[in-house]
Amino acid sequence: MIILLFLLLCLASPLASQERVLLDSATAALRAQRHEDARRLIDKAIAGGADNARVWELMGFAAQGIKDYNLMIDAGAKLAAIEPNNVQGWYFLTIGNHFLDRIDSMIPYARRFCELDSSLCAATGIGDIMTGLSQDPIGRLDSLFKTDNGAFHIQLPKGWFARVEDDGKLYHWFVSRQPITKAEDIFTEGVSIRWIRRLSKLFPAIGNNTDARFLTSFWDTYIGGVQGRNKVFYRKTVDSTAMTIAGWTGLKRIVDMQAKERSYRLRMLEVIVAREDEVVTVIMECPLFLWPGYKARFEEALRSLRLPD
């Protein structure tokens, strides 16, 4: 038995020694910022059978240096599988997906990274990336925003800003990442809720047609006409379904819109619902490239939405 063990060690040692030399050389190459050389050395070690945490950690850093983000993600996935509590694997998965604009894939990896090491989360800027998407580092800091009159409430990220404008006919409530202090201010990520009361007085042509289906159609047509006069550069309905919220009925749709040729494209979750002589519209919007990060959050916010009784 001792002789057999000795023979096995003799056979294994050259391979283990060669792997160590290659990985030590790769480490030195990384320190010297020679990332391509480091990758070639790591590839040789892998070809020789190396498959451990050190290999994939080094490969992750080499991939980051040569900006091969798919390789970085692959290295991160292998490292996370071998050592689930090694923060570096989750770092590679987060950064790789971030640079490939795979925001929906990035978020869960970033949350895990920040759960494992909050200091490194802040130091690497990943916490700031998540904040920029209105995702706190572990995605749990929401607030229930309420209007003073109690007519509306909605759950959205803590730290967003709210403002109400009310002239007695149109009640307009903003909840947005960027502060809205006056009517002229704009936001890039947020929610706008309008409550139009006594619609038949604003539009006498409605007459006695004050049922919900007619009013939803009327308001949709009216707003479409306004947008047509304003010459919106691009608008496309991606999806549309019927919608009911506690006695208010109408529609929900996803809309892409671009105001001008040189402006960025928005994606909006848009709701128009009505009941007798009243309409509520809800628009949740963000730049199109951020939609993967906001989609689930806006859908959750819509489920939390309370409308006037």
Distance (Å, whole) CA 228 – CA 225: 5
pLDDT at 43: 95
Kindly list the distances between the CA atom of residue 80 and the CA atoms of 43, 101, 196, 309, in Å, as whole numbers in the listed order. Answer: 19, 21, 52, 50
Predicted local confidence at residue 5, as pLDDT: 33
Q: Domain 142-304 is of which CATH architecture?
A: 3-Layer(aba) Sandwich (3.40)
Model pLDDT, residue 140: 66
The first and second tokens of residue 227, run together, are 């947008």
pLDDT at 4: 33
Can you state the angle between helices 87-99 and 69-82, rounded to 10 degrees? 160
Q: What is the largest CA-CA distance in the chain?
A: 101
Q: Which of 23, 52, 51, 18 is nearest to 39 (CA)?
A: 23
Rounded to two decimals, what is the model's pTM?
Answer: 0.70
Angstrom distances, CA of residue 276 to CA of 192, 220, 247: 22, 16, 10
CA 72 to chain centre: 21
Q: How much is the pLDDT for 158? A: 80
Distance of CA 119 to CAs 110, 124, 159, Å?
Answer: 13, 9, 21
Whole-number pLDDT of residue 70: 96
pLDDT, averaged in runs of 10, over the chain (309 residues):
34 62 92 95 93 95 95 96 95 93 86 92 88 70 85 88 88 90 83 92 84 90 78 90 94 94 93 94 94 89 94
pLDDT of residue 209: 83
The CATH code of domain 13-132 reads 1.25.40.10
Please state the domain extents for the chain.
13-132, 142-304
What is the rounded CA–CA span in Å between residue 306 and residue 36?
56
Quick one: pLDDT at residue 16?
Answer: 64
Please count the other Cβ atoms lying within 10 Å of the Cβ belonging to residue 120: 16
- Can you tell me the distance from the alpha carbon of 185 to that of 309, in angstroms, rounded to the nearest whole number? 30
